[in-house]
Amino acid sequence: MNTVNTRIRTLGVNFSDKGLANVVLWAPEANRVEILLLSRNIKIPLISEEYGYWTLETDLIAPGELYEFILDNDKQLPDPASLSQPKGVHGPSQAIDIRNFSWTDTNWKNIPLKDYITYELHTGTFTPDGTFASLEEKLDYLVDLGVTAIEIMPVAQFSGERNWGYDGVFPYCVQNSYGGAKDLQHLVDVCHQKGLAVILDVVYNHIGPEGNHLEDFAPYFTDKYHTPWGNAINFDDAWCDGVRLFFIENALMWFRDFHIDGLRMDAVHAIKDFSPVHILQEIKEQLDFLEQQTGGCHYLIVELDLNDTRFINRVDKGGYGMSAQWIDEFHHSLRVSSGQEKSGYYSDFNGIKSLAKAYQDAYVYDGTYSDHRKKKFGIKATENPGQQFVVFSQNHDHVGNRMLGERTSELVSFDMQKLMAGAVLASPYLPMLFMGEEYSESGRFQYFVSHTDPELAEAVRKGRKKEFQAFHMSGEAPDPMSVEAFEGSKLHWDLIEKAPHKTMLAYYKKLIGIRKQQSALNVLNRKDVHVECLEDKEVIILQRQHKIQDVICLMNFSDKPQEIHVAVYAPVWQKLIASSDTLWDGSQDLPEKISGEITLVLPPQSFTLYTNQYE
């Protein structure tokens, strides 16, 4: 049972081509296991197999059946590999056949990773209805915006109907209030019809607190390591083989049965594994087998608070083989450059000096001393291409983990928002937008949950207050349990037709279009990047190059006009965009063309692009 089957899902309740139900449960410490079919009150014993697995093949279970497992004539529990929880985390599991969906994306080929322009969204707050079906209605808007991929925050079943998604307790089950498995499959199918790739956020570093029954079945956790969420998931202690298989099969299921194009893996630095083959590497190796069988192409993108290229280096180079990683350091540098406060972990970043290093070296800390961490931190990422790093000016964490959930639109000026957008989209990395930023959404995105356990709810409230003490924030944090925190976090779609939001949306469309059209911007060769940091003027001059094309990115983060000179000659420099132009509600139109070397007075808080040729 410990051999990974990449062709089909083996754990839980699955259906064969003949219509038989194949049941597999891992419960190595149980002496007796039965499956209870609730509609008929039928108990069927499972057969004990090696390594603690219990199996059954039967024609008594049909799709739609509600069931639970009974361990040792005592514990009656939902399936840890459940695909459907129609009555929530405390209710029974429902048997469904995820292989019978009628896909229409046969001709779909995943987009090359270098061409990903990602849009992160939360299903519950992206639309008023908060479902996959209503999300589909906004896909044409996203296509028109120019993004090439959507990244969906976690959808694993969590308690209640309001949650960021990082409290999921059924990793295989799609949240029922979003529409469940079939609606997610339909969403992916429609995305592919429209040319959009789909990234799904998954959480393999912890399991949520309410409705978590994994420990009742097997040693899914170990006290060898401590994480912010308690005992670590057991990837290298006694009985870890079954745990590893559980999560490997989960990753493969999303790719194979839901046609997901990439997984964004939450906080992999909190995955504790000293096995000879790290769990991430094993997921990568099993994904390689799946791709050989299907001819497909899929990506593994990690959130990583370690400047450690081992995670993204190829397996044959001693790495874990992840496709790409988020680099928060770019965000932190950009945030401080924009004039926002330097409290907490932002204290480590020196504005445009740090941002210039992020452009040049990806990691700001690559072996240098970090005062915040009180140690030397990171290694150099010289040989890793630009497509291995995801950058952003905001995301769910850096908005929602603020005490009040203020977006960048509330924290900086309209001009600075345009500059920050340009800084991300002109980078030699993979850009990511957070839902609503493209039209300067003014509403907040707060942290919200809907736990039904009063003690847990109070613990979450206290935990939030303690977290904000590190940032020396005064005032009262909003109640994450309140309906208002959730409802107030939904996007206000009526804004896109109003000033100045309509202008910002047009500006983002133009920027994204320029990135796609100009090879010097969309070819992510870090060797052809040159950065000049004018600290006294708070100006960064970023030069991107591909073959005979040069693009000069001029970023003035100061509140004053700044005169600059770029000693790169071209017969004619053609303006691609200037955020200060009156077209974008700016105060000053910059020249359409410049001959020879570039000498300009950059308006305050402005982003400007010139190129030596059109393509």
Phi, psi of 517 (to 5 degrees): -85, -30
Q: Where are the alpha helices (DSSP H) in 111-220?
A: 123-126, 132-136, 139-145, 180-193, 214-217
Question: Under a CB-based contact definition with an 8 Å cutoff, are residues 103 and 96 in contact?
Answer: no
Catalytic residue among 189, 210, 303, 441: 303
| 303 belongs to the catalytic site | yes
Q: Where are the alpha helices (DSSP H) in 194-345?
A: 214-217, 240-258, 279-294, 328-337
Q: Which residue has the tokens 């847990």?
A: 456
**Alpha-carbon span 33 to 558, nearest angstrom:** 67
**Alpha-carbon span 54 to 46, nearest angstrom:** 6
Closest CA to 392 of 303, 331, 322: 331
Closest CA to 307 of 363, 236, 263: 363
Q: Which residue has the tokens 């002109």?
A: 426
**Alpha-carbon span 237 to 225, nearest angstrom:** 10
**Alpha-carbon span 384 to 304, nearest angstrom:** 15
Annotate 577-613 with DSSP letters as a single string. EETTSGGGT-S-PPPSEEEEEEEEEEPSSEEEEEES-
Question: Under a CB-based contact definition with an 8 Å cutoff, are residues 600 and 594 in contact?
Answer: yes
| 266 belongs to the catalytic site | yes
Q: Where are the alpha helices (DSSP H) in 314-430?
A: 328-337, 352-361, 396-400, 408-411, 414-425
Q: SS3 string of 185-207?
A: HHHHHHHHHCCCEEEEEECCCCC
Count of CB atoms situated within 10 Å of the CB of 600: 22
- Cis amide leading into 154 (omega within 30): no
**Alpha-carbon span 494 to 45, nearest angstrom:** 56
- Amino acid sitting at position 494: D
Q: What is the largest CA-CA distance in the chain?
A: 84
What would the two tokens of residue 404 be?
Answer: 């009040």
**Alpha-carbon span 209 to 159, nearest angstrom:** 9
Catalytic residue among 65, 236, 261, 266: 266
Distances 198 to 8, 94, 222, 262, 299 between C-alpha atoms, Å: 21, 26, 33, 7, 10
**Alpha-carbon span 250 to 50, nearest angstrom:** 21
568-572: which pairs have CB atoms within 8 A and are 24 or more residues apart? 568/543, 568/597, 568/598, 569/596, 569/597, 570/596, 570/612, 571/595, 571/596, 571/612, 572/612
Residues 6+ apart with CB under 8 A from 191: 139, 150, 197, 198
Closest CA to 336 of 439, 396, 416: 416
Q: List residues with catalytic annotation.
A: 266, 303
